[in-house]
Structure 1
Amino acid sequence: MNNRLVALCVSAGFLCAGASNAWADAGAHTMVTPADLSWGDVPSLPAGAKVAVIEGPLNEAKPFTFRLKFPANYKIPSHSHPAIEHVTVIFGTFHMGVGDKMDTSKTTALGAGSAAIMQPQTTHFAWTGSETIIQVHGVGPWAINYVNPADDPRKK
């Protein structure tokens, strides 16, 4: 594939990343600004996180895009996902590490504009020092499976 075609495909992917559920299901062209986002609680994450779904549904085998907003000093215990997960840091610093147990000394600090790609079933964890917003996208269904079931807020 030549470089011009690769650039065109990458550009098209970035243009579609902000699409809404209407685009995914009906083919309509949609643009979303930060002011358009509607934030809600996330039952599958520890208290304090907020989610804004841009494209989905998250529980079906369809493309999804959502943003997560974390407060300062937030921790996500070690977990995995059944499908590939693409993370882009929008604001703040998202510290990510790989492994079955949270170890804040073994993380990479991802600042705004940084990205991470987690392969299916890869156990990883994250934390923030200040308010942070990330964007997650992939093809569903999206789910979070905690290494330690006691860490799962849905079971408390």
Structure 2
Amino acid sequence: MATNTMITATALALCMGVSSAVMAETPYMGDGHTMITPDELKWGPVGSMAPGAQIAVLEGDLGTAEPFTMRLKLPADYVIAPHIHPAYERVTVLSGTFYFAHGEEFDRDSARALPEGSLAIMSPGDPMYGYTDGDVVIQLHGTGPWGIEYLNPEDDPRQ
């Protein structure tokens, strides 16, 4: 990644609540090939989510119209309040069970259990929420810019 691109990505990530520690250079192999092992991931807090969540950005500048891939570690009993995203978001459950639902009001009973290997695809502007009952790792990918807007401003940790 070029220095200017890295500076831009880091500055935008900090504005979005992503620590610069998670924006470390990705190990590249050849022309456009990327290979990353789990021990190479740089995890850090997510300022746009409630405390406890950890993020590792694997590729892309989350603030531009380019592909991105990131992972989130969510602890047991974690709640993601109802929110929307500005672009399509694709979520793959890598470990644990993530409970996910579409809607404007948090309703634990309406959430669907998505075990390891499950996929969820959400369209821009559609309200959603989720929770965990154990530790969960999910991978998100799409085309940026990525963002999160909570339906209830009181749920936004950036406030």
Contact 1:21/1:55 (<8 A) preserved? no
Q: Which residue of 1 aligns with 2:92?
A: 88
Q: What is the one-letter code of the residue matched to 2:145?
A: P
Deviation at 1:134, TM superposition (A): 0.1
Say whether 1:152 aligns with 2:144. no
Q: Which residue of 2 aligns with 1:65?
A: 69
Q: Which residue of 2 aligns with 1:4?
A: none
Q: Which residue of 2 aligns with 1:33?
A: 37
- TM-score of the superposed pair, with normalisation by structure 1: 0.82
Say whether 1:112 aligns with 2:116. yes
Partners of 2:63 and 2:108 in 1: CA distance: 30
* 5+ residue gaps, structure 1: 1-19
Q: What is the one-letter code of the residue matched to 1:111?
A: P
Q: Which residue of 2 aligns with 1:137?
A: 141
Q: What is the one-letter code of the residue matched to 1:100?
A: E
CA RMSD, 1 decimal: 1.8
Deviation at 1:28, TM superposition (A): 2.6
Q: Which residue of 2 aligns with 1:45?
A: 49
SS in structure 1 at match of 2:158: helix
Deviation at 1:30, TM superposition (A): 1.5
Q: Spell out, residue by residue over 1:28-73, the C-alpha distance to the aligned partner (whole angstroms, 9 max, x if none).
A: 3120111111100000000000000000110111100000000000
- TM-score of the superposed pair, with normalisation by structure 2: 0.81
Aligned length, in residue pairs:
135
Partners of 1:55 and 1:38 in 2: CA distance: 12
Q: Spell out, residue by residue over 1:58-112, the C-alpha distance to the aligned partner (whole angstroms, 9 max, x if none).
A: 0111100000000000000000000000000000000001111110100110010
Percent identical pairs in the alignment equals 48
Q: Which residue of 1 aligns with 2:8?
A: none
* 5+ residue gaps, structure 2: 1-23
